[in-house]
Amino acid sequence: MKFFLDTANVEEIKRVNDLGLVDGVTTNPSLISKEGRPFEEVIKEICSVVDGPVSAEVVGLTYAEMVAEARQLAQGADNVVVKIPMTEDGLKAVNTLSQEGIKTNVTLIFTVSQGLMAAKAGATYVSPFLGRLDDIGSDGLGLVADLKTVFDNYDYDTEIIAASIRHLPHLEGSALAGADIATIPGSIFPKLWSHPLTDSGIQAFLDDWKKFEDSQK
Please identify every residue annotated as catalytic: 83
Q: Is the dihedral of CA 168, 174, 175, 177 positive or negative?
A: positive
The span from the CA of 145 to the CA of 123, in Å, is 18
The span from the CA of 191 to the CA of 133, in Å, is 22
Q: Which helix (H) or strand (E) holds 213?
A: helix 196-215
Calculate the alpha carbon distances from 168 to 4, 6, 44, 129, 185 in Å. 15, 15, 30, 15, 11
Give Cα 94 to chain centroid, integer Å.
18
The span from the CA of 205 to the CA of 207, in Å, is 5
Calculate the alpha carbon distances from 151 to 87, 142, 170 in Å. 20, 14, 21
At residue 29, the 3 state secondary structure works out as: helix
CA dihedral 80, 83, 84, 85 (to 10 degrees): 180
